[in-house]
Chains A and B, each alone.
Chain A
Amino acid sequence: MNTDNPIPENELQRLAALKRYNILDTLPDHAFDDATKLVSYICGVPIAHISFIDESRQWFKSEIGIGVSEVPREISFCRYTIMESKMVEINDTFLNERFKDDPNVTGGFKVRFYAGVPLTTPDGFNIGTICAVDHVAKSLDENQRNALSIVAKHVISQLELQTKNIELNAQKKIAERAVLAKDSFLANMSHEIRTPLNAIIGFTDLLAQTKLDETQRDYIESVQIAGENLLLIVNDILDLSKIESGNLTIDSEPFNLKKTLKHIYNLLKVKAHKEVEFNLFLDADMPETVVGDQARLNQILVNLIGNALKFTDEGDVTVSVKKIEETDDRYSLRFSVKDTGIGIPEDKLKSIFERFTQAEESTTRRFGGTGLGLNIVKQLIELQKAEIHVKSKEGRGSEFYFVISYKKAENTVDEVKPISKNDLGPLKILLCEDNVLNQKLVTSVINNFGFELDIAENGEEGIALLSQNKYDLILMDLQMPVKDGYQTTEYIRNELNLDIPIIAMTAHSLVGEQERCYKVGMNAYVPKPFKQASLLKAIKNVMNQDVVHEKKRFIDFSILDEIASGNSDFKNEMITLFIEKIPHQTEELVAAFKNEEYDFVKKIAHNMKSSLDIFMLTDLTNCLSIIEEDALRCEFTSDTADKINILNCGIEETVKILKDL
């Protein structure tokens, strides 16, 4: 009996090379099974296999005629083959000194003929073998030997390919994470930049309202313009990061189109050069009101018209809107911005929509701008399922146009009745805010409105003040030390049981945040840097209970409707199922998250995604994907907790809306 146990010189490195492929104990695979079959056909043998040899065993990735998944290394023929650099062929084991008494020759697999080629990695390690075995003595011809070696090379290529694919996928994951990190970096940075900018713009506004001499007024105006330009750039960057991360959504609310256009016109009129005629042409049968995203239309047009005015020294800039199609429930409107400015060279017509590109490199210096505007415009138009077109002749002018299809408004928009400041009377307001500059700014603005203001440095101080004095309203910053805005609001609502109106003030612009504010019981939301008018409007809104209006989540039923094909019973059945199941699953998820039960979190998150898909709750599904991935990595961070929170709020809100249907 043969007890020889040969170990290759480079055994440790060899084992490391084998481990790299992660092939041991994997599921069967066609590619390897095919190769094994090929060996059996080519060599005309009943037994063939592809195997890998680790410290203690020979493991069969693929086999014909063996029927076991592994054998101990000590009884494996192949332990000799991996010592060689070429094929080992034993034509008749009975005549071979080394093997004639081997248990697998005298019994076992009854090996009489053996041919094995080592599987050699590109860096030269024999990690396994591919073999042909027979119960009778035989000899391979030259072609068969060649073929066996070629198949061996293919097996290694296949292994390499799989490993590369797995590596590639891992790299892809890393890249995707990097993009996420970049997005949140951008969102956070713009938050950090906007907070002080908020103070600069606000104080400049206040300063401009004081008595100034001509030079001072000139200086202040320059600061105002610079501040606003800086804000535009920060907003551009934030918009881009939102578009890229898929977090920018298009609203669908009725709005007055004519008013919007006139407002833009009046706003930009002042920017036109003296020799430029600035026109707004509205089609006579253009609808008054449509359903869509007013803010985004505003942004698109301000950008395009702003460009047209910037690049036109004489002649005219014409904005025209035309109805080109009307169906039962939609209008198609063509928006055009045409100028007689410097125009765009033909070879630049495509690249102007790319990021950080302007038609000429020198343009940046002559005309200013970030080079982000047109890229954002293009993406905003595409998000509304439309396309931007441009026609231009150098030196003659340009025309940018696009056609957006808007839903018809069912009835006219209810105009919020303007309430004059006096209607509110004297108000006593509490501000919870830790930033000194913002405290001063809000103080001046609120005093301007004629209201009284107390300041708390953080939530806890706010709660203390609240129990000492009577206030009409609270302005709440979200990020504060000790107790943040959410916690403070929760405390006021749940512990103090007060229904005093609370307005959130925040420079955060992250998706889901607004929802979270409403969820914890705030009544309104004013983004920073705030305009005096919008703060006053928010105060009026919350003080006039009839006008209090919660921004509701919009649930897109188009997939469910497509599935239900008009059967409302089925649709209702699915909605009921959602209401019955999802809140319970969410509870389970939250509990499992708290207990760090990674496996369970992964399972529930995964399962919930399919349900949420049907209701097109994309933002919540995205949260679930991140939660699922974090669970897979067995690592929960504050970001995961945030996602859990957003998900929880979103589900609660969705269920509420579904119940009210």
Chain B
Amino acid sequence: MRIILAEDNDILRKSLSFFLESKGFTVDQFSDGKDALDSIKINKYDLILTDINMPGISGMEITQYVRETLNLDTPVIILTSSGVEQTELDSFDIGANEFIAKPISPAVLLVRINKLLKIKA
């Protein structure tokens, strides 16, 4: 299974991708939203895991582009942290499958990923 991970915080990004790789996933990691989206355009991913606020473009814009322009139903998990972000998400149903609030429990993340991948399979 191939996952793309977009998160601008180095420690969190490296940690999550190490964790997911140790669970057998292939992880492509990006710290810039635009680079991540470019990679989504040319590669096939089983799941998209993205932060909201990043340099380049935001996780919400990535999701919207994936759903509306690329017309893909790839599962999208958005990592949220502040209450402000939650408000924005509440107001705009942008087609993400899951929201996981930071701080992220690796175990919870794994469960949600597996759940989404199973549903799709």
A contact set with B: CB distance below 8 Å: 27-31, 162, 165-166, 169, 172-173, 559-560, 562-565, 567, 570, 573-574, 577-578, 581, 603, 606-607, 609-611, 613-614, 616, 621, 625, 628, 632
Contacts and interface: CB of A to CB of B under 8 A. Distances in A.
Contacts of A621: 103
Nearest to A615: B11
A578 B83 contact: no
Nearest to B52: A606
Q: Is the interface of B mostly helix, strand, loop or mixed?
A: helix
Interface stretch (B12-20, B35-43, B70-78, B112-120): B12-20
Interface in B53-101: 53, 60, 64, 81-84, 86-87, 90-95
Contacts of B19: 562-563, 565
A606 B51 CA distance: 12
Q: Is the interface of A mostly helix, strand, loop or mixed?
A: helix
Interface string B25-56: 00000000000000000000000000001000
A606 B82 contact: yes
A628 B102 CA distance: 15
A563 B11 CA distance: 12
Contact of A559 (B18, B84, B106): B106
B93 A611 contact: no
Q: Indicate the size class of the contact surface on chain B.
A: 20 to 34
B107 interface: yes
A260 B7 CA distance: 49
A562 B108 CA distance: 12
A577 B12 CA distance: 11
B9 A607 contact: yes
Interface of B: 7-12, 14-16, 18-19, 22, 53, 60, 64, 81-84, 86-87, 90-95, 102-107
7 contacts: A27-B64, A165-B87, A169-B83, A560-B15, A563-B19, A563-B106, A610-B102
Contact of B9 (A29, A564, A611, A632): A611
B95 A610 contact: no
Q: Which 6 A-B pairs have the closest CB atoms?
A: A613-B103, A610-B9, A610-B12, A563-B19, A611-B11, A563-B15
A31 B93 contact: yes
A522 to B, nearest CB: 32
A567 B82 contact: no
Contact of B81 (A28, A578, A603, A610): A610
B112 to A, nearest CB: 15
Contacts of B9: 607, 610-611
A467 to B, nearest CB: 47
Given A29-B93, A563-B15, A610-B81, 11 more contacts: A30-B94, A31-B93, A169-B90, A172-B83, A563-B16, A564-B18, A567-B18, A573-B14, A581-B11, A610-B102, A613-B102
Contacts of A603: 53
A611 B12 contact: yes
A98 B1 CA distance: 62
Contact of B10 (A565, A581, A613): A581
A570 B104 contact: no
Contacts of A628: 82
B81 A567 contact: no
Given A27-B92, A610-B9, A613-B12, A565 B82 contact: no
Contacts of B95: 30
B10 A614 contact: no
B32 to A, nearest CB: 14
Contact of A606 (B53, B60, B90): B53
Nearest to A608: B9
A232 to B, nearest CB: 36
A203 to B, nearest CB: 48
B12 A614 contact: yes
A524 to B, nearest CB: 33
A570 B93 CA distance: 37
A47 to B, nearest CB: 20
A567 B103 CA distance: 22
B81 to A, nearest CB: 6
Contact of A614 (B11, B92, B107): B11
B33 to A, nearest CB: 14
Nearest to A22: B91
A359 B9 CA distance: 52
A559 B103 contact: yes
Contacts of A610: 7, 9, 11-12, 81, 102
Given A169-B87, A607-B9, A570 B81 contact: no
Contacts of A570: 18
A628 to B, nearest CB: 6
Contacts of A559: 103, 105-106
Contact of B91 (A165, A564, A609): A165
B81 A562 contact: no
Contacts of A578: 11
A577 B53 CA distance: 21
Nearest to B20: A563
Contacts of A560: 15
A629 to B, nearest CB: 8
A161 to B, nearest CB: 10
Given A27-B92, A31-B93, A562 B11 contact: no
A621 B103 CA distance: 10
A578 B9 CA distance: 11
Contacts of B102: 609-610, 613
Contacts of B83: 169, 172-173
A545 to B, nearest CB: 38
B18 A563 contact: yes
A365 B14 CA distance: 61
Contacts of B104: 613
A613 B7 CA distance: 14
B106 A165 contact: no
Contacts of B84: 632
A574 B93 contact: no
A606 B22 contact: no
A563 B8 CA distance: 18
Nearest to A564: B18
Nearest to B61: A27
Q: Which among B11, B93, B107 has the highest number of chain A CB atoms within 10 Å?
A: B11
Contacts of B53: 603, 606
A616 B102 CA distance: 11
B34 to A, nearest CB: 17
